[in-house]
Amino acid sequence: MISITRSLARQVRAVFRRLVRRCLGPRPLVSFQGTSQGLRVRLHGSAIAAEYHLPGSHGDEVIVLPLEALAACEGSREQPVTLEQASAGIQVHWRDHGMPQIAVHPLEDSPSLADFPRPPESMLPVEPGFLTALAEASLSADQQALRYATDHIQLQGSAGCIVATDGKQLLMQKGLAFPWTDDVLVPASPVYGCRELAQAGPVQLGRTDSHVVLQAGPWTLSLPIDKESRFPQVERVVPSKKEATAHCQLGPEDRDFLVRSLRRLPGGDDEHAPVTVDLNGEVLLRAHAEGQDQAVELLLARSRATGKPFRLAMNRKCLERAMRLGLPELHVQDAGRPVLFADEKRDFVVMPLDPQGSVPASEKAIRISSTQEAAGPVAIKRQRRKNTVNDTNAIETQTTNVPSETIVPENRPTRTRKPKTAGVAVLIQEAEAIRNALRDLTGRSHKLLVALKRQRKQSKIVQSSLKALKELQHIDG
């Protein structure tokens, strides 16, 4: 019999299920291996092998359960859960609100479990933010690899960089140290951002011939090294700050303002969710929805633009990602070239959209300043909720929001705005057109029905007349 707690079952399941989200093979299994040195809880059936080590003396026994079996007995408290092997299967006992619970699972074939990767000879401590760097890199990696291994993360030993790309965005995180000098490819995974790992304790790193091994407190992750696939030569893509012609320094308050506001701009449902960045002394973001006359402008009052005036269009998801990363610098070289967001240790590169899709400046635009929140919240009217167009960069459901009041910047004449935008007017006109069409169809159907009734009445009169004539002919005969 092996004993754990409900809270441990919850932690183990939280970490392990992030490793098997895209598992296409047999169902993942969890083994509980008790020894005199402790209990080892291991995940089997995923590319990344994971283990939780619980110190203490446990019986020399191995119990194997499917991962989904932990969902029933997990909890937030340190209440005991016992695993016992019986003839009918594995019996799991626990209490829920004082009531005894039991679940029975079929016996799994323990000898068929693959051998767990061997540990490295030594482990070295790494920076406190190492797990966060891996988590951010995984968000920039692709879901599936085609020509290159873009579903992997490259750990550059000599350069001290973590690199990830999906072909449309590229993230390089520098200034790290690895206990090797070559470049290795390891799988991208959401497990690196798991709270249970972040709170487990200091992180250590080691390597064998086949795996990069990461330890965080009682957790051990063995990341398989891909030696066959190729990774893009990303250094050729990163723009040079010195060759950039336009620069922007984004204030921290403006970055937070953009994170809160970008998804609320109109046009989020359009293809590629474009937003225009206008660097011309002021730093402006401009967007409008298809069929909408008035654009909405965000004035980043705490940011500044230098260099050549420049206007470009980009996917707002890429811009939001750069703001969530907290990158304060934006550098642009020329149209059609990659755009660089950066700080001292990170480079985030994205490809802009077609410059013909940028929204020009207009006196009719509704302008909202990032300093407006200091005076009070900006009134937002939610119009509709739709699913975004399914492209490679758009995977979330967004809401199209349009400001319902005008924010007038300083030194700008006051103009009265209509409370409804042209986008709403188009929808109203379309609704009225549909209503008029329905009225017309109703009138026409009514006239047709009257004509049919009249025709039926005339048909009955003709039939009765013919019948009467036949009867008269019979009498005359």
Same fold, 2-112 and 124-236: yes
Over pLDDT 70: what percentage of the chain?
Answer: 83
Per-residue burial over 142-158, b if 16 or more Cβ lie within 10 Å, else e, is beebeebbbbbbbbbbe
Give the whole-angstrom CA distance, residue 13 versus residue 337.
44
The sign of the CA dihedral 407, 408, 414, 415 is negative
Asked if residues 163 and 154 have their Cβ atoms less than 8 Å apart, the reply is yes
Who's near 276: CB < 8 A, 6+ residues apart?
Answer: 284, 285, 286, 287, 311, 312, 313, 358, 359
* Alpha-carbon radius of gyration of the chain: 33
Considering the chain, what percentage of its residues have pLDDT values greater than 90? 58
pLDDT at 442: 76
DSSP string, 61-126: EEEEEEGGGHHHH--SS--EEEEEEETTEEEEEEEETTEEEEEEEPPP-GGGSPPPPPPPS--EE-
Contacts of residue 475, defined as CB under 8 A and 6 or more positions apart, other chains included, come to none
- pLDDT at position 402 is 37
pLDDT reported for residue 456: 79
Q: What digits encode the pLDDT tens for the residues 175-226?
A: 999 999 999 999 999 999 999 999 998 999 999 999 999 999 999 999 999 9
Between these two residues, 435 and 145, which has the higher pLDDT value? 145
77 C-beta neighbours (distance < 10 Å), count = 9
pLDDT for residue 389: 37
> CB of 133 within 8 A of CB of 173?
yes
Nearest to 50 by CA among 13, 25, 8: 13
Q: What's the mean pLDDT in 159-177?
A: 94
Query: How is the chain split into domains, by residue range?
Result: 2-112, 124-236, 246-341+349-419, 421-477
Which of residues 152 and 374 earns the better pLDDT score? 152
Determine the pLDDT at residue 457: 73
- Does domain 2-112 sit in CATH 3.10.150.10? yes
- CB neighbour class for 225 (10 Å; exposed up to 12, middle 13-18, buried from 19): middle
Look-up: residue for tokens 């006359």?
A: 293
| Residue 247 to residues 35, 194, 282, 352, 426, Cα–Cα distance (Å) | 61, 36, 12, 15, 38
Q: Which residues pair with 341 in a beta bridge?
A: 330, 348
Tokens 């990659």 sit on residue:
338
**Which has more confidence, 371 or 423?**
371
User: Does residue 302 carry a pLDDT above 70?
Assistant: yes
Banded model confidence at residue 463, pLDDT cuts 50, 70, 90: confident
More confident residue, 249 or 437: 249
Separation of alpha carbons 288 and 266, rounded Å: 5
Instruction: Say if residue 36 is exposed, middle or buried (CB neighbours under 10 Å; 0-12, 13-18, 19+).
Output: exposed
Q: Residue 15 has which token pair?
A: 């970490």
Instruction: Please state the rounded mean pLDDT for residues 318-324.
Output: 95
Q: Give the burial class of 130: count Cβ atoms within 10 A of its Cβ; 0-12 exposed, 13-18 middle, 19 or more buried.
A: buried
439 or 10, higher pLDDT: 10
| H/E segment holding residue 332 | strand 329-332
**What confidence tier does 36 reach under pLDDT thresholds 50, 70, 90?**
confident
- Could you give the CA distance from residue 293 to residue 365 in angstroms, rounded to a whole number? 9
Lowest mean pLDDT among 114-118, 143-147, 273-277, 399-403: 399-403
The stretch 139-149 carries a mean pLDDT of 90
Calculate the alpha carbon distances from 210 to 180, 186, 224, 226, 297 in Å: 13, 10, 6, 8, 52
Residues in the chain: 477
Supply the pTM of this predicted model: 0.74
What pLDDT score does 116 carry? 87
pLDDT for position 1: 87
pLDDT at 155 > cutoff 60: yes
Per residue in 67-123, pLDDT tens? Answer: 999 999 999 889 999 999 888 889 999 999 889 999 999 887 665 677 889 999 999
Give the DSSP H or E segment for 137.
helix 130-140
| The pLDDT of residue 447 | 75
State which fold the 124-236 domain adopts: DNA Polymerase III; Chain A, domain 2 (3.10.150)
**Strand partners for 172:** 163, 347
> Is it true that domain 246-341+349-419 has CATH number 3.10.150.10?
yes
pLDDT of 347 over the 80 cut: yes
Average pLDDT over residues 398-423: 42
| DSSP 8-state class, residue 235 | G
- Tell me which of 403 and 99 has the higher pLDDT: 99
Query: What average pLDDT does the segment 155-164 reach?
Result: 95
In this prediction, residues 311-320 reach a mean pLDDT of 94
